Amino acid sequence: MKRNLYLNVQEKETALSRFLEAFSHIQPGRERISVIHSLGRITAEAVYARYSSPSYNSCAMDGIAVISAHTKGASESHPLRLIYEKDYLDVDTGDMIMPPYDAVIMAEDLIETEDGEGYTIIAPTHPFAHVRAIGEDIVAKEMILPTGHRIRAIDISVLISAGITEIEVIKKPVVGIIPTGDEMIEYTEPLEDGKIIETNSWMFENLVTENDGIGHRYPILPDDLELIRQKLTEAVSECDMVIINAGSSAGRDDYTIHAIQELGEVYTHGVAIKPGKPVILSKIQNKPVIGLPGYPVSSYLTFTEFVLPVMNMYCRTGGFVRQQKQVTAKLSKTLMSGLKYEEYVRVKLGIVENELVASPLERGAGASMSLVRADGFCVIPQDKEGILAHENIQVKLVKDMEQIRKTLVLIGSHDLILDVINDLMMEEGRDTCLSSTHVGSMAGLIALQKKEAHMAPSHLLDEKDGSYNTAITREMFPNEKMVIIKGVRRRQGFIVKKGNPLNIQSIHDIMHGVRYINRQRGAGTRVLFDYLLKKEGISKKDISGYEYEAATHMSVAVAVQKDNADVGMGIYSCAKALDLDFIEVGFEEYDFVTYEKYLELPAVREFIHVLKGEAFKKRLDMLGGYGCEECGQICFI
Amino acid sequence: MKRNLYLNVQEKETALSRFLEAFSHIQPGRERISVIHSLGRITAEAVYARYSSPSYNSCAMDGIAVISAHTKGASESHPLRLIYEKDYLDVDTGDMIMPPYDAVIMAEDLIETEDGEGYTIIAPTHPFAHVRAIGEDIVAKEMILPTGHRIRAIDISVLISAGITEIEVIKKPVVGIIPTGDEMIEYTEPLEDGKIIETNSWMFENLVTENDGIGHRYPILPDDLELIRQKLTEAVSECDMVIINAGSSAGRDDYTIHAIQELGEVYTHGVAIKPGKPVILSKIQNKPVIGLPGYPVSSYLTFTEFVLPVMNMYCRTGGFVRQQKQVTAKLSKTLMSGLKYEEYVRVKLGIVENELVASPLERGAGASMSLVRADGFCVIPQDKEGILAHENIQVKLVKDMEQIRKTLVLIGSHDLILDVINDLMMEEGRDTCLSSTHVGSMAGLIALQKKEAHMAPSHLLDEKDGSYNTAITREMFPNEKMVIIKGVRRRQGFIVKKGNPLNIQSIHDIMHGVRYINRQRGAGTRVLFDYLLKKEGISKKDISGYEYEAATHMSVAVAVQKDNADVGMGIYSCAKALDLDFIEVGFEEYDFVTYEKYLELPAVREFIHVLKGEAFKKRLDMLGGYGCEECGQICFI
């Protein structure tokens, strides 16, 4: 069974600079468009005014036009009477001022004469007073906008004033996008086992749009060398550059590399970045053709690292080049990485006590949802084995920094209600939102200790008295004023398949080959399960699947639903959401631990406001399995 | 002659909150659109996954699918041979893993057997190794996006993965825009004296677009009560809200207020902000109708302060509300303001020695070009008489902060070459640009002393020896290491009308009623003129127009061209640009003064690179009147 080998795995910077060099002949395209449709476009050359503005001496205030020489000598002690048409004319803002009139007196400074046939003034004026002289705003032949300027609404108004109706702008590069794969289906087709909905091409198309290009997506191609060759030839002739996805790795069916080799020149096959290794950088008919990997996170990253720089060549001029925004943040925990690649790690950002903290997320390349939840990426350079906790790192943003500033950061135990609370905060539109990272109750409290989060959702049982959260908080924060914001009482139990085919009634029914799915270390639900095992005198070794872990209640539920396991421990709402059966073990208290001083934060106040609201109670009813008698109450401990 | 009075001039906050309250019934509209066309739209409700992703257990690596139980015991000392179809199947990334297979071994970890009919492994594997379990990325019924989320390219890919093809988004509010005014013409019509090209409506339309609405512009209406009444009625029925512009001040022809009073209810006529006082806030048929003033700067400001908050009501949900970005900066000089209004002052921003400095620009409401050149606005509250120099102020940005960071700040003397240098910096695309403020040479050097600028363009004559710039720099920066970056030698002289009808040959011909136009105090050209007057023993009083000032050479030239003056002093290139005659007085040296340490700044290096380049010399030739023998040379003084 033959497999492709990567031709050569190159360092990212080497691969990219070599590739860009091969296209140094690329010149930005230009087109002439109407100014009124130019919003957001980039000037391809400097723009000079055709007309001056104002184009004549014009009145700057509502009032009267006067001959300034006639106003000499007017004062409070010697008011001067002005006669209509001899000394003045009525004028409005914008009216033309013609000789002999050379100044304007504002309406506010006029005293109407008693006969109503003129005005009296008590101060003289001078030439060009309250007159907008010709060219005061814009002088014809002046440069209004330089090359490479992104046009804003305010620029459009000035361009029109200056007599410009059409301008030369950079032409948007057309980026062809070819999705491939026998297992891929269009999102409009029915989903069957073994098939995958093709999504990357739509992300690429929209990333191209976000970065001032025009995405041109082709339909999905099967893994067929001849078809791929044909489509590549067609796309290269129709577009400025082409992305082909995926088929860039070393699997059996990877015809992409062969097709490109036949049609053009391959510069790079394989780049030392993680995730994202299988990248093809190549040239067909003098145009860039880039093969990107199929995993969502890999494909996003390799797009930003390889496609964007090439797009920028098609529109290179100063201010224009689109770069991902970066911020400096403090890393919350040590990140290890291999020397074999430059690694990109998704992070959540939060501003806690005026410090921007980056908490790393899971690293799987397939987790597109974690890309949606991420705030940015930090990069571990290839020559570093990792980054130590508390070091400052650069984070490339995927979310707006403004929004991050307004975000309440929760790290700890997972529950569906966190999404609901965020949704209600967003819906109320009070300009705060919530981000939650699910690491389990214990890890959440540790993050709170380190000021990486504002709040830790927690349901930690005190085995001594059966109470929740208070004892552990007292123990872990001995010198701090802490509060517990009461959350919900929730039903914990065993999630089993619909109809409970294995007839599981208690923890004793989970031995003897029944496949269990556990939660990760530190999760409150795992602590509860261990407590039950101990209480019943059952050994962990007797639980088949004790080491098979999931990170959320929903992941446990879906594993049971789809038969990766027979039973798992979790909350009722998740069993209900997936229409599974539930064997109750008991109620537990799911609360929010925080510092007393954080109660003053606007986002925390809004959070409590939502917890206490009627809308939240209704949403709990819909989810099922929650009690909310104390919801939003504050316990000072 | 009757004039409208403002009904009531209100404080901004009072006027706005009263107005918004009158529209508390407004609910955001919704519409259902295709996910693939949803980029940049805002979710109107939470979005839940329909499918899990992956929707089956799938292979995470190219390699072989194995039964994990069969791999037990493999080690380097006891390699294990796997037999095709008994122990393993070949699989590629994304392939479905079906029982009894439950794990994947990567191609890299396989040793091909010598007979080529199987593989040997030297380590065991465990269930779900390199398998993407069902729902690992997305679990069906999970909330993917909350209400009020602005959709990005990466969200689109996740939505499609989760089986979502259409979503509910906030409907964009339709904002009607009615331009009015007898003197206004469409930009497509020929410009005649006394006519003004209508531009505000196009700015409004594009501001509406920039802020997630749909602008609907109507053609220009004459000042005619009946027509305005008809069009308002029509617009209110077709749109969600209406802007009418201008006709909101107290001039004779202001029919707007009368039309609105007849059709609906006026809440406010006149707001205590400057610029921008003549604002109408009103309601017709339960919809907001806002009258905005006609001056470009006033119209921009009142749009952001009054129209945006109302637009936000039509799309209110959390993360969505568009607000102008603000930054904190140090004010460079004291700003005075009246207690009668809240005042908005345009500022230029620059980062000099790590401090963000805001330098106020001119305050005229008519200067739309200064709006284009501005980086933002600072607000002087109504209850303050001003803000002291060096105080920290909030600046509302009209330019991207990223760009401001890369900007080389020049404050000082004006020359057309500054625009050219900026254009060449932008064109070269090295990611720096130049901003220049024209306050005259002397004021520029003072700004440089205060670290408000990186560089001061200057042409200050030393009367003792006829040299330029060196003596004054030594005097003003006695304890600093300074350099002069040599600029151009430029022809200074008298700009007169084409054909020189008054036959002006020397400074002696500028007396006796010839109308002169001067430059502002501190301008090098004024210093030169004063030097010439003194040398020739002529009194300032004998110069008619000595007090009539312009801020740039181009303003002087246009005043002469359009007969606001007969003669002014300026540079040859401006006379040439406007096809005027020029009587040479001599050459002068126009250089750039800066601190020696600033030579290391990337933007300064790029600046010097441009000065020395061939492209710059070509542009100087086209402008005319410049010598560039020493251009870009550095003199350490």
Backbone angles phi, psi at B606, to 5 degrees: -65, -40
Whether A368 sits inside 8 A of B161 (CB atoms) is yes
Nearest to A93 among B193, B202, B249 (CB): B249
Q: Which residues of B touch A547 (CB under 8 A)?
A: 126
Largest Cα span, chain B: 112
* pLDDT at residue A319, as a whole number: 45
For A146, the closest chain B residue by CA position comes to B423
Domain that holds residue B141: 30-54+136-170
Nearest to B158 among A141, A368, A559 (CB): A368
**CA B8, CA A379: separation in Å to the nearest integer?**
58
For B430, the closest chain A residue by CA position comes to A318
For B301, the closest chain A residue by CA position comes to A154
Is B417 inside any structural domain? no
Nearest to A127 among B152, B431, B548 (CB): B548
Kindly state whether residues B387 and B484 are assigned to the same domain: no
E strand or H helix at A635:
strand A634-636
Report chain A's terminal Cα–Cα distance, integer Å: 66
CATH of the domain at B558: 3.40.190.10
Which residue, B121, B150, B170, sits at the end of a domain?
A: B170
Tokens at A105, concatenated: 């007196």
**CA B594, CA B592: separation in Å to the nearest integer?**
6
* pLDDT at residue B320, as a whole number: 45
**What are the CA-CA distances from residue A237 to residues A48, A234, A285, A320, B333 (Å)?**
36, 5, 8, 26, 58
Whether B128 sits inside 8 A of A548 (CB atoms) is yes
Query: Cβ distance A170 to A30 under 8 Å?
Result: yes
CA distance B464 to chain A (A): 35
**CA A204, CA A298: separation in Å to the nearest integer?**
12
CA distance A481 to chain B (A): 31
* pLDDT at residue A277, as a whole number: 84
Report chain B's terminal Cα–Cα distance, integer Å: 66
Contacts of residue A391, Cβ cutoff 8 Å, sequence gap at least 6: A330, A331
Whether B135 sits inside 8 A of A559 (CB atoms) is yes
Kindly state whether residues B178 and B163 are assigned to the same domain: no
One-character DSSP codes across B219-286: PPBPS-HHHHHHHHHHHHHHSSEEEEES--SSSTT-HHHHHHHHHSEEEEE-BSEETT---EEEEETT
Long-range pairs, B26-31, Cβ under 8 A, ≥24: B26/B313, B26/B314, B28/B170, B28/B171, B28/B314, B28/B315, B28/B316, B28/B317, B29/B170, B29/B171, B29/B173, B29/B240, B29/B314, B30/B168, B30/B169, B30/B170, B30/B171, B31/B168, B31/B169, B31/B171
Residue A124: left if φ>0, alpha if ψ -120 to 50, beta else—which one? beta
pLDDT one-digit tens code per residue, B156-183: 999 999 999 999 999 999 999 999 998 8
Which residue, A339, A374, A399, sits at the end of a domain?
A: A399
Nearest to A318 among B138, B196, B425 (CB): B425
Contacts of residue B99, Cβ cutoff 8 Å, sequence gap at least 6: none
Q: Of the candidates A81, A91, A83, A85, which has an alpha carbon nearest to the alpha carbon of residue A121?
A: A81
**Complex ipTM:** 0.89
pLDDT one-digit tens code per residue, B520-550: 888 889 988 999 999 999 999 899 889 888 8
Neighbours of A84 (CB within 10 A): 13
Whether B141 sits inside 8 A of A200 (CB atoms) is no
Whether A149 sits inside 8 A of B321 (CB atoms) is no
Tokens at B583, concatenated: 């009587």
In this model, does residue B5 exceed pLDDT 80? Answer: no
Query: Cβ distance B306 to B329 under 8 Å?
Result: no
For A204, the closest chain B residue by CA position comes to B153
Q: Which of the four pLDDT bands, split at 50, 70 and 90, describes residue B252?
A: low
CA distance B517 to chain A (A): 12
CA distance B470 to chain A (A): 30
Burial B358-393 (b: 16+ CB within 10 A, else e): bbbbebbbbbbbbbbbbbbbbbbebeeeebeeeeeb
Query: Cβ distance A422 to A415 under 8 Å?
Result: no
Is A38 inside any structural domain? yes
Domain count, chain A: 5
**CA B320, CA A6: separation in Å to the nearest integer?**
45
Whether A156 sits inside 8 A of B191 (CB atoms) is no
Nearest to A154 among B126, B165, B203 (CB): B203
Which residue, B170, B187, B221, sits at the end of a domain?
A: B170
Whether A191 sits inside 8 A of B51 (CB atoms) is yes
Kindly state whether residues B234 and B310 are assigned to the same domain: yes
Tokens at A429, concatenated: 């539109």
**CA A387, CA A335: separation in Å to the nearest integer?**
5
Is B290 inside any structural domain? yes
Contacts of residue A361, Cβ cutoff 8 Å, sequence gap at least 6: A345, A346, A347, A348, A370, A373, A374, A437
CA distance A507 to chain B (A): 23
For B559, the closest chain A residue by CA position comes to A134
Tokens at A60, concatenated: 């700057």
* pLDDT at residue A1, as a whole number: 37
* pLDDT at residue A339, as a whole number: 86
Kindly state whether residues A393 and A357 are assigned to the same domain: yes
Instruction: Give alpha helix (H) positions in A303-399.
Output: 308-314, 368-373
- One-letter identity of residue A324: Q
Nearest to B433 among A93, A152, A319 (CB): A319
Give me the helix-helix angle, A441-449 and A524-536, nearest 10°.
Answer: 130
Tokens at A37, concatenated: 């449709």
Q: Which residues of B touch A317 (CB under 8 A)?
A: 426-427, 429
Query: Cβ distance A128 to B404 under 8 Å?
Result: no
Whether A46 sits inside 8 A of B203 (CB atoms) is no
One-character DSSP codes across B328-389: EEEESS-EE--TTSEEEEEEEEEEETTEEEEEE----TT-HHHHHH--EEEEE-TT-SEE-T
CATH of the domain at A570: 3.40.190.290
Kindly state whether residues A519 and A456 are assigned to the same domain: yes
Whether B56 sits inside 8 A of A252 (CB atoms) is no
- Radius of gyration of the CA atoms of chain B, in A: 34
CA distance A383 to chain B (A): 23
**CA A561, CA A548: separation in Å to the nearest integer?**
16
For B89, the closest chain A residue by CA position comes to A1
Average pLDDT over residues B257-264: 94
- One-letter identity of residue A216: H
Dihedral of alpha carbons A514, A520, A521, A525, sign = negative
pLDDT one-digit tens code per residue, B355-411: 999 988 877 767 788 888 899 999 999 899 999 988 999 999 998 888 888 899 999
* pLDDT at residue A162, as a whole number: 94
Nearest to B423 among A51, A107, A143 (CB): A143
CA distance A256 to chain B (A): 15
Kindly state whether residues A487 and A604 are assigned to the same domain: yes
Residue with tokens 């004296």: B193
Q: Which residues of B touch A166 (CB under 8 A)?
A: none
Tokens at B362, concatenated: 């001119």
SS3 A308: helix
Contacts of residue B261, Cβ cutoff 8 Å, sequence gap at least 6: none
CATH of the domain at B78: 2.170.190.11
CATH of the domain at B148: 3.90.105.10
Whether A134 sits inside 8 A of B251 (CB atoms) is no
**CA A138, CA A45: separation in Å to the nearest integer?**
19
Q: Of the candidates A463, A86, A367, which has an alpha carbon nearest to the alpha carbon of residue B139?
A: A367
Tokens at A503, concatenated: 């007839």
pLDDT along chain A (637 residues), means of 10: 57 94 91 97 94 89 89 90 90 86 90 85 88 88 91 95 95 96 92 89 96 96 94 98 80 79 94 89 96 91 93 70 80 88 91 92 77 91 90 91 89 93 85 86 94 94 86 95 96 96 94 89 88 92 88 92 94 95 94 97 95 96 93 94
**CA B526, CA B505: separation in Å to the nearest integer?**
19
Q: Of the candidates A238, A180, A184, which has an alpha carbon nearest to the alpha carbon of residue A214?
A: A238
CATH of the domain at A220: 3.40.980.10
Tokens at A57, concatenated: 């001496």
Kindly state whether residues B166 and B261 are assigned to the same domain: no
**CA B134, CA B58: separation in Å to the nearest integer?**
8
Give me the half-sphere count of Cα atoms (radius 13 Å) on the Cβ side of residue A616. 29
Q: Which residues of B touch A426 (CB under 8 A)?
A: 146-149, 317-319
Query: Cβ distance A234 to A188 under 8 Å?
Result: no
Nearest to A318 among B157, B161, B431 (CB): B431
Nearest to B251 among A93, A157, A317 (CB): A93
Kindly state whether residues B579 and B478 are assigned to the same domain: yes
**CA B127, CA A565: separation in Å to the nearest integer?**
11
Q: Which residues of A touch B145 (CB under 8 A)?
A: 372
Kindly state whether residues A88 and A191 are assigned to the same domain: no
CATH of the domain at B388: 2.40.340.10
Dihedral of alpha carbons A307, A309, A310, A316, sign = positive
* pLDDT at residue A58, as a whole number: 87
Q: Label each residue of A58-109 as H, E or C.
A: EECCCEEEECHHHHCCCCCCCCEEEEECCCEEEECCCCECCCCCCEEEEHHH
Is A223 inside any structural domain? yes
Question: Is residue A353 classed exposed, middle or buried when 0-12, 13-18 and 19+ CB atoms within 10 A define those classes?
Answer: exposed
* pLDDT at residue B162, as a whole number: 94
Q: Which residues of A touch B372 (CB under 8 A)?
A: 144-145, 154-155, 158
Q: Of the candidates A16, A14, A9, A19, which has an alpha carbon nearest to the alpha carbon of residue A272?
A: A9
For A249, the closest chain B residue by CA position comes to B62
Q: Which of the four pLDDT bands, split at 50, 70 and 90, describes residue B115?
A: confident
**Interface contacts A/B by beta carbons within 8 Å:** 365
**What are the CA-CA distances from residue A520 to residues A175, A489, A525, B234, B524 (Å)?**
43, 22, 9, 63, 74
Kindly state whether residues A371 and A445 are assigned to the same domain: no
Q: What is the mean pLDDT of chain B?
A: 90
Q: Which residues of B touch A557 (CB under 8 A)?
A: 139
Please list the helix, strand and coil fractions of chain A in percent, rounded to the nearest 5, in that order: 30, 30, 40
pLDDT one-digit tens code per residue, A611-632: 999 999 999 999 999 999 999 9
CA angle A339, A340, A346 (to 5 degrees): 80
Is A426 inside any structural domain? no
Is A407 inside any structural domain? no
Neighbours of B74 (CB within 10 A): 19
Is B258 inside any structural domain? yes
Is B418 inside any structural domain? no
CA distance A583 to chain B (A): 21
* pLDDT at residue A369, as a whole number: 86
For A47, the closest chain B residue by CA position comes to B423
Nearest to A194 among B96, B188, B317 (CB): B96
Whole-prediction pTM: 0.90
Whether A148 sits inside 8 A of B429 (CB atoms) is yes
Q: Which residues of B touch A138 (CB under 8 A)?
A: 368-369
Kindly state whether residues A542 and A613 are assigned to the same domain: yes
Whether A152 sits inside 8 A of B206 (CB atoms) is yes
Tell me the percentage of chain B whose pLDDT exceeds 70: 96
Kindly state whether residues A624 and A480 are assigned to the same domain: yes
Nearest to B252 among A90, A420, A562 (CB): A90
Whether A316 sits inside 8 A of B429 (CB atoms) is yes
Question: Is residue A508 classed exposed, middle or buried when 0-12, 13-18 and 19+ CB atoms within 10 A define those classes?
Answer: exposed
